[in-house]
Amino acid sequence: MTIKKRLFVSNILMIVIPAFLAVLTLAAGLFIFFSAALPDSGYRLLSRHELEETRSDMAAEAVSWLSEQDADKKEGIAARLNRAAEQNQIFLIIEQNGSEVGRFGRETAANQEQLIRALEEMNNAGTISDGNTDLYGEQITVNGGVYQLKLFNPVVSVEGQKFKAMAAVFALFLVVVVLFIVFLTNRFLTRFVFRNISNPIKILTEGVRQIHDGNLSYRISYSSRDEFLPVCEAFNDMAERLGRYAEQSQKGEESRKELLAGISHDIRSPLTSIRAYVEGLLDGVADTPEKQKAYLATIHKKTIEIDQMVKKLFLFSKMDMGEYPYLPERLNASREITDFIIASEDEYRRQGLKIVINSLPQNAFIDADQAYFRSILMNLLDNSAKYRQNETGTVTITGMSTGHDLILYIDDDGPGVPEEALPKLFDVFYRSDPSRKSPNQGSGLGLAIVSKSIERMNGSVRAENLPNGGLRITLRIPLSERTQEK
């Protein structure tokens, strides 16, 4: 049950329960009050008005009984008189000329003689009482005869002051009881409603404490179908995301440490060479113009290596922060690849790399930044040139279109990489040479830039070893919505 429904039910019960219990308490209190206040709580006639009406009815029945001549009817009237007298605890005596002619009901008065004498002093008319029993006297005339009616009944009366005091005590007691009922009802309904609020709050508080203490694997178990269920689910989702962010942050921290170590290692090697050759020049080791020229050429080469590495590092950092401009345009992939190879073929041939274009799909257009696309090709070819194992290495470029994507295969005949290194090949500063004993083969930034570039193009890249040796890089790039030139 939701909290909204619980509050609705609670508000209804807050009215119904106290009202119902108050009615029961009032009924029970009235019964106890009248039992204590009235001498005979079982007496049917509790008011003077009812008593007078009953006396009048019984006097009328007595007249009918006295005037009736038919024996059967007379007996029926007598039965009614007896029944009425017994029901109302009245004892009726009918006399004529001092002789009793009829008696109805059970004799209840203990002091009949005293009451009768007192009534006679009142000319046998009116009401006389000894405090326990009332005697009512009345004379009636039936068929010319005069009859005396005497009706005895219990007295139902309470002293005024005592009755008021008892009524005040009863009213105070009733108010206290009703307030106590309202208090108990409120306590019960409060627990009924807030138990399902306080428990989830405690659960959430414990979850927050666990997250605060660093336990990001903590999850809340909550199954009640109420307003707190989406909150607990959101908490678990938040904890899961925090866990992923913490894991990514830890990996990022490790990557930064690895990046710093890689930069330090890869820059230190050429700087050491530059320093050594500069000291050789200063110390006069290079004592001939030929040696000096060779030393300066080496210094120049190492300077270029540092410059290229710094440029790649700068490019990667800008890409990683999303600050490097990306200006996509509609490119003919086959033409871009062909133009790039024609422009750089001689340079790669000098580096000992032969480039072969096997086949490329015609009119395969992609939406990409030309600088990014050419950077991908350049870094992949540079990587193949640096890691070739023959004097002249070969790279084969093959392309195909699947209808939605352009797929490019860049295969080389190099040594390949260990299988366990394939998933990490595009991580920044990762090289399959864990000891980094061959810094002249590159820093590993090139493939990381390839991964960042292809990611900006909404594509993907993966590496695999070829069955006959060598490494295959597979690029998957989404085709433009228009694959044909207008």
CB distance 127 to 48 below 8 Å? no
For the entire predicted model, the pTM comes to 0.47
Higher pLDDT, 231 or 166: 231
Q: Which residue has the higher pLDDT, 147 or 438?
A: 147
The answer to whether 222 touches 200, Cβ cutoff 8 Å, is yes
Query: Which is higher by pLDDT, 47 or 175?
Result: 175
Domain boundary among 301, 324, 347: 324
Q: How far is CA 45 from CA 103, 134, 153, 199, in A?
A: 21, 13, 10, 59
Does 43 reside within a domain? no
Q: Is residue 396 part of a domain?
A: yes
169 shares a domain with 30: yes
In a domain, 221, yes or no: no
Classify residue 430 as exposed, middle or buried by CB count within 10 Å of its CB (0-12, 13-18, 19+): buried
Which of 32-46, 110-124, 248-262, 374-388 holds the top average pLDDT?
374-388
Strand order in the sheet with 145-154: 99-104, 91-96, 145-154, 133-142, 126-129
Residue pair 97/154 in contact by the 8 Å Cβ criterion = no
* Domain final position from 278, 299, 324: 324
Evaluate whether residue 212 is within a structural domain: no
Q: Give a yes or no: residue 74 inside a domain.
A: yes
Helix, strand counts (H, E) of the chain: 10, 12
Under 8 Å between Cβ of 38 and 47 = no
What's the token pair of residue 197?
Answer: 């609020």
Q: Residue 472 in contact with residue 410, Cβ under 8 Å?
A: yes
Closest CA to 16 of 176, 175, 188: 188
**Residue 231 pLDDT greater than 60, yes or no:** yes
Residues 33 and 62 in one domain: no
The CATH number covering residue 465 comes to 3.30.565.10
Give one word for 394, left, alpha or beta, with left for phi > 0 and alpha for psi -120 to 50. Answer: beta
pLDDT at 483: 54
pLDDT of residue 123: 87
pLDDT classification of 81: cutoffs 50, 70, 90: very high
Distance CA 360, CA 369 (A): 20
Which of 87-96, 147-156, 228-237, 257-266 bottoms out in mean pLDDT, i.e. has the lowest?
257-266
Strands 460-465 and 471-478: antiparallel
Residue 216: inside a domain: no
Q: Give dist(CA 303, CA 278) in Å, integer.
A: 12
Same domain, 110 and 167: no
Both 345 and 451 in a single domain? yes
User: What is the domain-level CATH number for residue 304?
Assistant: 1.10.287.130
- Residues 268 and 249 placed together within one structural domain of the fold: yes
449 in the same domain as 329: yes
Note the pLDDT of residue 353: 93
Residue 374: inside a domain, yes or no? yes
Query: Rounded distance, CA 362 to CA 332, Å?
Result: 8
On whether both 124 and 25 belong to a single domain, the answer is: no
Q: Which residue segment(s) compose the domain that 178 sits in? A: 3-38+160-204
Q: Which has the higher per-residue pLDDT, 410 or 12?
A: 410
Q: What is the pLDDT of residue 443?
A: 54
Contacts of 409 (CB under 8 A, 6+ apart): 396, 397, 398, 399, 472, 473, 474, 475
- Same domain membership, residue 199 and residue 123: no
Q: What digits encode the pLDDT tens for the residues 393-447?
A: 999 999 999 878 999 999 999 888 888 888 888 876 555 544 334 444 445 677 8
Domain presence at residue 214: no
Q: Please tell me whether residues 314 and 395 are part of one structural domain.
A: no
- Residue 202 has a pLDDT of 85
pLDDT score recorded for residue 44:
54
CATH of the domain at 94: 3.30.450.20
Structure tokens at 72: 């059967």
Asked whether the predicted pLDDT for residue 160 surpasses 90, the reply is no
Residue 216 has pLDDT above 60, yes or no: yes
Q: Which CA distances in Å does 75 have to 60, 102, 148?
A: 16, 12, 20
Same domain, 345 and 399: yes
**Does position 121 have pLDDT exceeding 80, yes or no?**
yes
Whether 352 and 437 share a structural domain: yes
Last residue within a domain, chosen from 324, 342, 361: 324
Mean pLDDT computed over every residue of the chain: 81
Q: Give the chain's domain count.
A: 4
| Alpha carbon distance 441, 479 (integer Å) | 34
DSSP letters, 99-156, are: EEEEEES----S-HHHHHHHHHTTTT-EEEE-SSEEEEEEEEEETTEEEEEEEEEE--
Between 298 and 313, the more confident residue is: 298
Q: What is the pLDDT of residue 79?
A: 93
What pLDDT, on the 0 to 100 scale, is given for residue 486? 40
State whether 473 and 377 are in the same domain. Answer: yes
Average the pLDDT over each of 13-22, 100-109, 315-324, 378-387 and give the range with the smallest value: 315-324
